[in-house]
Structure 1
Amino acid sequence: MPRPLPLILAQAPGRPADDLAGFAADVERRVKLRAPGALVAYPELHLGEGAPGTVADPEDTAEPLDGPRDAALSQLAGDLGIWLVPGSVHERGEDGRVHNTTPVYSPQGKRLTTYRKICPWRPYETTTPGNRFAVVDLDGVGRIGISICYDTWFPEISRHLAWMGAELIVNVVRTPTGDRAQELVLNRANAIANQVFVASVNAAAPSGVGRSLIIDPQGTVRAETPGGGDTTLTDVVDLDEVVNVRRYGTAGLNRVWEQFRPGDPALELPLYGGRIDPATWNPATTHEEPSR
């Protein structure tokens, strides 16, 4: 059975953290006439703009997770009946530290999960790193994972999301620099190596250089924006394609998740102080917890 998921990637310039009314109007404009139940994603720190093209001081814009911003975003998702990934926001943790955090909201107006950026772009970003991966089930559709911008440079993050059962990795980005070209290659590589969809949405000028794209589990670019203007990238992906690619192999050849099998020797990984255990190599299936 197909499992279609409409995607709406908002390649937009950033907004001040307190411009929730403007954000709501922008989401409604982009969603209008689109399929119900779409997943709508905005760039990293979309609600974190200072002067045009600059990120505001995290200390000035950070809110606790259950603050008024969260209530407004929950209501917006519920009012429009969408899965909402509003980019990322500055979150004030219970210990007072500030994180770069992506929340995910359901069409019922509930916050389903949050993800704190594991790899801030050091030394330029000062937020406190997160220490856990985040996947979430979209009821009746499938499971997605979340990464934020520089995370995509670390293959361990995408690999772990796929192992946890993610069929689509939503990568929210704010890249105004020349290395967006490399990020496009890395996103394709992460899709190929893990046989997952990747949707990478970058900010528009002056906050970013754009070049958002949607990649299928074989690494083929399905849709992309050619430049850095304010635009909306749309597609409808079938998450069952992940199942088919893993079953028959990339290009009908490579079944990477069947490489390690029960009875094979464990592979020590001294870099991580861990190992690849063939008994736990296969990824979780949708709506199941990964084996430990």
Structure 2
Amino acid sequence: MNSLLADLLLGILEGLTEFLPISSTGHLLIAQHWLGPRSDLFNIAIQSGAILAISLVYRQRLWELATQWRLAGPRDYLLKIALAFLVTAVVGLPVRLLGWQLPETVTPVAWALVLGGVWMLLAERWSERGPPSDTVTWKIAVAVGLAQVVAGVFPGTSRSAAAIFMAMLLGMNRKPAAAEFVFLVGIPTMFAATGYAAMETLLDGHAGDEDWAGLAVALIAATVAGFAAVRWLLRYIGTHRFTPFAWYRIGLGTALLLGLPAGG
């Protein structure tokens, strides 16, 4: 397959799966089994395309926070976004430097898909026991930051799923509100991760080996697909449960463990 076409398909896949709670890492792993492996910079940078999509979806909310930060409500919300990001950075950077991460191979990703799906089924039911709430507490901000680190350690977990369901378990059980906070925290998180990966590539002297044209194509595709996916997801979870995503994860993970389609 033409390399640019493969990059386009990978970008679309990333954009569609980054925010759905089904693990973009797991789907990219499966796709790259046929389309060919990509560099760490590629796999991280195209996530920034999806994050750019979030910035477009929430552009009015971001403008409101930027222009009204002197008011107590927006300032408090921004500080909690900052806290969640700082927790991810302070805990996640040493974890990355120490290499505390399972390999992005089929077996650990498959188990993460299955166990994550089961956890989603249980967590959603448990969160519904409490009164409806869209309040972000300081505890939730810390937990969201830690959840992002866990998702990085266990490929296939899904950053969005781990963080959204952690917020829901701690009382923020209005799903659109939980998703908004997690997605907004993802903006600085993933842009920082991309910057770090780019710096590593430059310092390692591998910049010349990178297919920058392919990366640009994939990033643009991820932005467009991510925008469509987020708009759809926000409408869907306003009136529906996460159950279909959980069962999809369980089914896909089981298929991978049985050796289909990625061959073990």
Normalising to structure 2: TM-score of the pair?
Answer: 0.27
More RCO (CA 8 Å, sep 6+): 2
Structure with greater helix percent: 2
Given the two structures, how large is their TM-score scaled by the length of structure 1?
0.25
